[in-house]
Amino acid sequence: MRKIAVFTSGGDAPGMNACIRAVVRSGSHYGMQVMGIKRGYTGLIEGDIIEMDARSVGNIVQRGGTILMSSRSQEFRTEEGRAKAFENIKKHNIDGLVAIGGNGTFAGALQFYTEYEIPVIGIPGTIDNDLSGTDFTIGFDTALNTVVDAMDKIRDTAESHNRVFFMEVMGRDSGLIALYSGIAGGAESIMIPEMDDDILNLTKTLNKALIRKKSSLIVMVAEGDEAGGAFEIAKKVESEFDELDCRVVVLGHVQRGGAPSCNDRVLGTRLGIGAVEGLLRGKTNVMAGIVHNKIEYTPFSETIDNSHKINQDLFKIIDLMAH
């Protein structure tokens, strides 16, 4: 491993810059030249590749987003696109890749290795925390803090007007952001794809709240909940409860931004170093993750096929705290 390259792909996540910094500086420490690929697989296809050193990653650990930028490349899904990418790998004499992203990023890396045998190690960078093989993904903790901060502010106005607020957060296939932030922010009900009978449970919870004459109610909704998004659920509730004044807040991409939390900076740094050391030890087609506070390497095939399992104790907490 004389020369490696790092890139970020898919949705950006706070802490990616800390991870890039760790890859570059640890790679330099081990005597390797480190390149940066801009705009993910799109940049690899177009040859948008730059040399990086310790100074090029200075003063970025506290910044959100990704200095290498990101994209979702349709062209890389084609044989022609991957062939162009391989030509640029050869042109720059790159011996291994560090791919920071999620499921789609890892699926692309696995296909690329199958065809061209370029060693690659993935790092879980996604606010959804939906990848198996790691306890937490880069960006999840920061996103939670952003949501809870917004939730606290919404609680103030909800109590002032005796309203029900439906907060929609990101999570098309995973409800972990809604679940963790809902528990932390004291939501009266949490609606996520992994739970059944959401509307029935919500109706029971609202009935209890009305009996107790609660002054404010917040319902946390994951965008991928089977009952629909926050607007759809709010309509269903309004049709059942004429006396409720309902409002909807969709946080959207604000959840991706902001300075990364301490946890995400440390996590990104540890995983960046873990990926470089994994390549040096001959590992490939694996994701570097943190399991029980230790670096573990999980095959891409497992991370792609399996999602992060929700601790069943968290469902119990929802029921207990709803009273």
* DSSP for 252-312, written as a single string: GGGGG-SPPPHHHHHHHHHHHHHHHHHHHTT--SEEEEEETTEEEEEEHHHHHH-BPPPPH
Phi-psi category of 65—alpha, beta or left, where left has phi over 0 and alpha has psi -120 to 50? left
Give CA 165 to chain center in angstroms: 25
Catalytically annotated residue among 12, 48, 95, 128: 128
| d(C-alpha 33, C-alpha 92), whole Å | 11
Asked about 197 being catalytic, the answer comes back as no
Residue 246 gets which letter from DSSP?
E
Distances (CA, A) of 274 to 8, 15, 296: 16, 15, 9
Provide the phi-psi class of 39: left if phi over 0, else alpha when psi is between -120 and 50, else beta. Answer: left
Residues with catalytic roles: 128
